[in-house]
């Protein structure tokens, strides 16, 4: 059996964990598997997908990060190539099933934790300002996570917010853009990175901007090294772990089970809240590209 993962990811700590999960499962099940990391380039990702379809693999695991995927996925299914979603999903896409995080729910969970912490510290919600940096504006993960965060913001009476373009997946660029935003917007009281890279670079950006731990209440998504540092040093309040190793691992397992007996499981891998009190297990396995 041969499986292909076609993703919008890049050469970064988050996707190294997805890849490790894929490799481990492929070895366990005696399969072959490859992963495409397209760096946020939708046109390239769709090109790689069509190339993969032409190869007639056992199945394709696809990051569905845009509504334009629907006809391409349907065409693949019509040609007898099974396609299922991982990591990102989009309503109405004809994919067979989905393995990943419920993004709206995860956004609500982290938003509630961040805003509750701010209120306890005496922040006036009517004067508060929230910024949400995102690597790829308009991508499904950022849109859906921000919906959950803004639902929590509404409940806490926070009205001022901005979704900020962090400039892609290159970590230096992301750090520079977040730093520049913080320097230009001293009214910022909350920052929630919408992706793993923006969350990872938030601690460095806060330091660059001369902020002390906890001066701006910060949180986000995933458990990349910079995020773990921020949790330990008090710059980050909490983060959501979508347990992406499972996305890579279950992509192979579920593809295998579908090919064997037509199983179509939907698996929610995420929503696990990590803070300074629960960081231990993450630190233990992060160097192994498992957490």
pLDDT digits (tens, 9 = 90+) for 63-110: 999 999 999 999 999 999 999 999 999 999 999 999 999 999 999 999
Q: Return all residues near 198 (Cβ < 8 A) that are at least 6 apart.
A: 133, 134, 135, 166, 174, 178, 220
Alpha helices, H only, 185-279:
196-208, 225-233, 244-261
pTM to 2 decimal places? 0.85
| Confidence tier at 151 by pLDDT (50, 70, 90) | very high
Percent of the chain with pLDDT over 90: 93
- Domain ranges for the chain, please list them: 2-100+243-269, 103-241
* Torsion of the alpha carbons at 219, 66, 155 and 119, rounded to the nearest 10: 10
pLDDT digits (tens, 9 = 90+) for 191-222: 999 999 999 999 999 999 999 999 999 999 99
Over the range 150-176, which residues count as b (16 or more CB within 10 Å of their CB) and which as e? bebbeebebebbebbebbbbbbeebbb
76, 22 contact by CB (below 8 A): no
Residue range 103-241 forms a domain whose CATH class is alpha beta
For 37, 137, 139, 157, the CA distances from 41, given in Å and listed in that order, are 9, 12, 11, 36
pLDDT digits (tens, 9 = 90+) for 236-267: 999 999 999 999 999 999 999 999 999 999 99
Burial class (CB in 10 A: 0-12, 13-18, 19+), 68: exposed
Domain 2-100+243-269 identical in fold to domain 103-241? yes
Q: What is 2-100+243-269's CATH topology?
A: Rossmann fold (3.40.50)
Q: Return all residues near 274 (Cβ < 8 A) that are at least 6 apart.
A: 223, 231, 238, 239, 240, 241, 282
- The two beta strands, 238-241 and 272-274, are antiparallel
In this structure, of 45-49, 154-158, 223-227, 231-235, the range with the lowest mean pLDDT score is 223-227
pLDDT the model gives residue 284:
92
């Amino acid at each position: 059996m041969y499986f292909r993962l076609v993703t919008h990811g890049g050469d970064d700590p988050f996707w190294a964990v997805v890849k490790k999960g894929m490799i481990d499962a492929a070895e366990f099940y005696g399969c072959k598997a490859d992963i495409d990391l397209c760096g946020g380039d939708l046109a390239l990702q769709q090109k790689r997908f069509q190339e993969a379809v032409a190869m007639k693999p056992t199945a394709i695991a696809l990051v569905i990060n845009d509504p334009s995927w629907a006809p391409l996925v349907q065409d693949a299914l019509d040609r007898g190539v099974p396609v299922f979603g991982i990591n990102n999903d989009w309503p109405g896409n004809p994919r067979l099933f989905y393995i990943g995080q419920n993004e709206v729910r995860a956004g609500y969970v982290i938003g509630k934790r961040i805003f509750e912490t701010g209120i306890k510290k005496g922040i006036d919600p009517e004067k508060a300002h929230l910024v949400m940096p995102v690597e790829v504006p308009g991508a499904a993960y950022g849109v859906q996570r921000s919906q959950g965060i803004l639902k929590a913001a509404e409940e806490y009476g926070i009205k001022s917010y901005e979704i900020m373009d962090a400039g892609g997946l290159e970590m230096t660029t992301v750090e520079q853009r977040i730093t520049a935003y913080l320097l230009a917007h001293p009214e910022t009281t909350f920052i929630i990175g919408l992706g793993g890279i923006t969350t990872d670079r938030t601690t460095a950006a806060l330091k660059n901007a001369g902020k002390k731990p906890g001066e701006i209440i910060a949180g986000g998504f995933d458990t990349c090294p910079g995020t773990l540092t921020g949790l330990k040093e008090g710059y980050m309040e909490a983060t959501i772990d979508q347990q992406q190793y499972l996305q890579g691992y279950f992509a192979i397992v579920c593809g295998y089970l579908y090919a064997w007996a037509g199983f179509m499981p939907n698996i929610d891998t995420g929503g696990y809240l990590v803070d300074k009190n629960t960081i231990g297990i993450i630190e233990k396995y992060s160097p192994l590209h498992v957490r």
